[in-house]
Amino acid sequence: QYTIVVLSSGGVGVAGARGSAAVCGLAAPLATGACRHHRRLHNLHFGEHKGLLSMSALAPNTPVIVGVGFVQNHADDPLACPEPYRLMVDALREAAADAGSAALLGDIESISVQQGMWQYSNPGKLIADALGCPGARSILADLGVLQITPLAELCSAIAAGEQQLGVVTGGEAKYRDLRSKITGVPVAMTEQAEDTPPPDVHHRSADPFATEVEAKRGIFLPVELFSVIESALRHHQGLGIEEHRDK
């Protein structure tokens, strides 16, 4: 799982656990958040020139990543492994810690989540409630949407002065599922109530991950789709299995 926090010249953070997250915000000085990463900015290269870059030299609405975090959990007991949204929450806490200020979590204005193999209807809301920022806008990007899109849009919003602090996150808990199958110990996923509001912003892909015909036949995962594509190419080229494999 991953999380990215972006602040307008004030601070930013990223975290993840087979979860990660990033915090992004304004370039303006943000107490301890920007200070921790000030030294990293000293070594930026501009073309052939290497020099110092002071936070005060940045435009007020410059998006800045102030912290990064990453979380993994490989517990043998599947019940000890957090579900996906909890991993994202942990990743965000790591991002805030990396930025130097846990107080950032209460000021989050938007939470962008990359769609995973889970079925949360509004993961951003689950995360916001867990972090204590229930007013944060919830943004969901479907499979098929470029992964850089949520971060790019967050930076654009900060540069335009529309907000000062936002996060981008995502995560899976497939190891948890694997351990559940191996041990025979069932694990539960949080199910949001039917009256849960949809995400404030939902980026949908014009290119479906799988067609309705494919989905009905259980062909959904990339490994399944690619296998069908390769078999079709092999048939079209009149190749045998071994010949196609070696080619």
For every residue of 8-65, DSSP letters joined together read EES--EEEETTEEEEEEEESS--HHHHHHTHHHHTT-EETTEE----GGGS-TT-EEE
User: How many CB atoms are closer than 10 A to CB 218?
Assistant: 9
Locate 226 and state its tokens: 């690619």
Of 168, 173, 16, 191, residue with least CA distance to 88: 16
Q: Are 189 and 180 in contact (CB under 8 A)?
A: no
Looking at 149-221, list the stretches that DSSP marks H as alpha helix, in order from N- to C-terminal side: 149-159, 174-183, 212-216
Q: Residue 201: which H helix or E strand, with range? A: strand 201-203
Supply the pLDDT for residue 70. Answer: 84
164-200 burial code (b ≥16 CB/10 A, e <16): bbbbbbbbbbebbbebbeeeeeeeeeeeeeeeeeebe
Residues 42/47/48/49 CA torsion (nearest 10 deg) = -30
- Residue 75 has phi, psi (to 5 degrees) of -65, 140
The per-residue pLDDT string of the chain (247 residues; one tens digit each, 9 = 90 and over) reads: 444 455 544 333 333 234 555 566 544 333 323 333 333 333 333 334 344 455 566 777 888 888 887 888 889 999 999 999 999 999 999 989 888 889 989 999 999 999 998 999 999 999 999 999 999 999 999 988 988 899 999 999 988 999 989 999 999 999 999 999 999 999 999 999 999 999 999 999 887 777 788 888 888 777 888 888 899 999 999 999 999 988 8
Locate 8 and state its tokens: 């307008």
Supply the pLDDT for residue 226. Answer: 87
Of 190, 74, 34, residue with least CA distance to 123: 190
- Residue 11 has phi, psi (to 5 degrees) of 180, 165
Helix axes 123-131, 84-99, angle to 10 degrees: 50
Supply the pLDDT for residue 117. Answer: 87
